[in-house]
Structure 1
C-alpha cells in the first residue's frame, strides 16, 4: 500500500463527534473537546447523568426519596455502557484484523512456496496472487474511506487481500534475498514502537497543517508507485523500475518516512475519536487504518532491504 486514505475520514469523523459536549450555539475550543460543556440539542444528557424516561415530565416528583437516592448513587456510565469508542475497542479490532492478515499471509506463503517446504508449492501463482492482493486491497481502501457508513465486511475483505499480498510478496522476496523478511518484520515492529513513544511524549506532533502536507505527499507517492509498477513490468531498472536507479535508496527511505508518519497520524486520530466520544463502530475503521499503515511500512522496509542486499 502506498497510502492510507482512511486517516482523513477518521479525523473528519472525530471533529464531527467533538460537538457532543458543547452547549448549543457555543463552539468548542480548538483541539480536543473539554469537559464541562452541556449537551447540544438532539443529544441526551452528559455521560453519567441520570436520564428520565422519555415523555414522562416531572418523573422525579413521583419517585420516592429512596428511589431518587438509589438512582443518584449509581456509578456514572462509562463509554462502554453508552456505546462510545474506547481504547479497548480499537485494540481488539486491530488485533482481529491483524490476525486475519497474518493467517492469510502465512497460508499464501506455504501455498506458493518455491522451496516446497511442506512438500508442495505453486510458485507460478505468486505473481497473480501478488497483483490481486495489491490492487484489490488498494481499491477497497478507497471504497472504505469514502463510504458514509462503516462497512465491516469490506474491512475484513481488505484484511484478507492484504494477507494474500503480504504472503506472495514476502515469499518471493525471501527466495531472492534470504533474510529480508526477518529484517523487515523487526524494523517494522521497532518503528511502530518508536513512533508511538515519540507521538505519546510529544516529540512528533500531528496538526491540521501536517495532515494536509502528509496527505498531498502520500497521494503523490501513490501515483509514483503506480508509475513505477508499470516501469518495472516494462523491464526498466532490471525489474525495479525507478527504484533500480541511483535514487532508489533515497526514494525507499522517503517511503519509510511517509509510512512511519502515517502511524503517528493513526495514533492521533484514534486519540481524537476516543476523546470526542465517537460511536463504538468506528473502532473497525480505526483498526483498519492502523493495520494498513503497518502493512505499508513493512512493504517499504522489505523493498529497502532488498535493494541494499542487491547492491
Structure 2
C-alpha cells in the first residue's frame, strides 16, 4: 500500500486532455455536425437525416420559421453540475463514504476471523494485500472506469486491514485505536493545510512526489520479500525497531500524508474541469488508497516505537 498511482495518471491525462470514461473526450462530445449545432445553434438540412426538434422551440434551420425566444433562453436558470451529469464534490464525498463503509464491514470480518483462527487471519492478510495491490494497479491503468473493480478493491483492502489490525492489536494492545485517531488527525490537518494554502501542490511537487513513491514502493516490496523468505528475522525488515526503522516509518508517513494533499488538489481540479460524474468513483477510490496507506504506515510506526 505504498503507492497511489490513481491520481498520477489522472493528472497527466487531465493536463494532456486524454481523460475519457469510454465516451468522447470531454469538450468534444458528439459528431462534428452536432458540435457545430451546439456552438452556433444552427442545423442545416441534410439528405436522409430528419430535422432534430427541441421541446419548446420551433424548427430550426428552415427559412420562414420564427427564431427562438432568446430572452427566455437567457432568462432560464443555468443547469447545475448534477443536472448536466458532471462530477461534483458531493458525488466524491458520497462515494468515498460508501467505499469506506464497504471497507469497514470487511475489515470487521478480517478482524474476527483472525482472532478465531490465526492461520486464516494470515491468509486474509496476505491474500487481501496481494489481490488488492493487483486490482489497484488494474484500476489505475485501465482507461475505462470500472465500478465493480473499485468495490472489489474496497473488499480486499477491508479484509487485509482487518486481519492486519487484529494481529497488531494482539501483540500491541491499544495500538489500533492510536493509529485510527492519528489517521483522522493527519487527514484533517492535511485538508486544512491544503485548503488554506499552507501546503502547496504544484506540477513540480507532483513529479518529485511520484518518483519518491515509486522508489518507496520498490523498497517496500523488497523489504516484504526479505521478511517472508526468512532472510531478515526482524518482522519490520530493514531498520527493525531501531532509529533507522523509525526514520523509515516517519518518511513513509510523510509520503502518505502528502498523498492526501495531492488527492484533495486532484479532486478539486476534476470538479473545476467538469468531468463526467463517473469520475467521482475514481476520485473516491484514490482517496481510499491514500487513507489506507497512511493508516498502515502509522500502525507500523507505532509498533516500531513500542517494540523498542
Q: TM-score, normalised by structure 2?
A: 0.84
Q: Deviations over 1:243-270 (max 9, x none)?
A: 4154100000000000000000000100
Structure 2 gap segments, 5+ residues each: 20-24, 29-33, 44-50, 54-58
Q: Distance in 2 between matches of 1:51 and 1:92?
A: 39
Count of matched residue pairs: 283
After superposition, the Cα gap between the structure-2 partners of 1:85 and 1:63, relative to the gap in structure 1 and judged at 3 Å, is farther
What are the residue-to-residue correspondences of 1:272-287 with 2, within 5 Å?
Answer: 272-287=269-284
Are the counterparts in 1 of residues 249 and 301 from structure 2 also a CA contact under 8 Å? yes
Aligned to 2:108: 106
After superposition, the Cα gap between the structure-2 partners of 1:143 and 1:74, relative to the gap in structure 1 and judged at 3 Å, is same
Are the counterparts in 2 of residues 132 and 165 from structure 1 also a CA contact under 8 Å? yes
Aligned to 1:302: 299
Q: Distance in 2 between matches of 1:177 and 1:188?
A: 18
Q: Distance in 2 between matches of 1:83 and 1:302?
A: 40
Matched, 1:14 2:29: no
Q: Distance in 2 between matches of 1:229 and 1:243?
A: 13
What are the residue-to-residue correspondences of 1:205-216 with 2, within 5 Å?
Answer: 205-216=200-211
What are the residue-to-residue correspondences of 1:1-311 with 2, within 5 Å?
Answer: 1-15=1-15, 16=17, 42=35, 54=52, 57-58=60-61, 62-63=65-66, 68-113=70-115, 121-233=116-228, 234=230, 236-244=232-240, 245-311=242-308
Q: Distance in 2 between matches of 1:179 and 1:221?
A: 28
Q: Distance in 2 between matches of 1:257 and 1:54?
A: 56
Are the counterparts in 2 of residues 17 and 277 from structure 1 also a CA contact under 8 Å? no
Q: Deviations over 1:16-54 (max 9, x none)?
A: 2899679xxxxxxxxxxxxxxxxxx948859xx999885
Q: Distance in 1 between matches of 2:289 and 2:225?
A: 23
Q: Deviations over 1:125-157 (max 9, x none)?
A: 111111111111111111111111111111110
Structure 1 gap segments, 5+ residues each: 23-40, 114-120
Are the counterparts in 2 of residues 235 and 241 from structure 1 also a CA contact under 8 Å? no
Q: Distance in 2 between matches of 1:43 and 1:195?
A: 44
Provide the alpha-carbon RMSD of the alignment. Answer: 2.7
Q: TM-score, normalised by structure 1?
A: 0.83
Q: Distance in 1 between matches of 2:70 and 2:106?
A: 55
Report how far residue 237 of structure 1 moved: 4.6
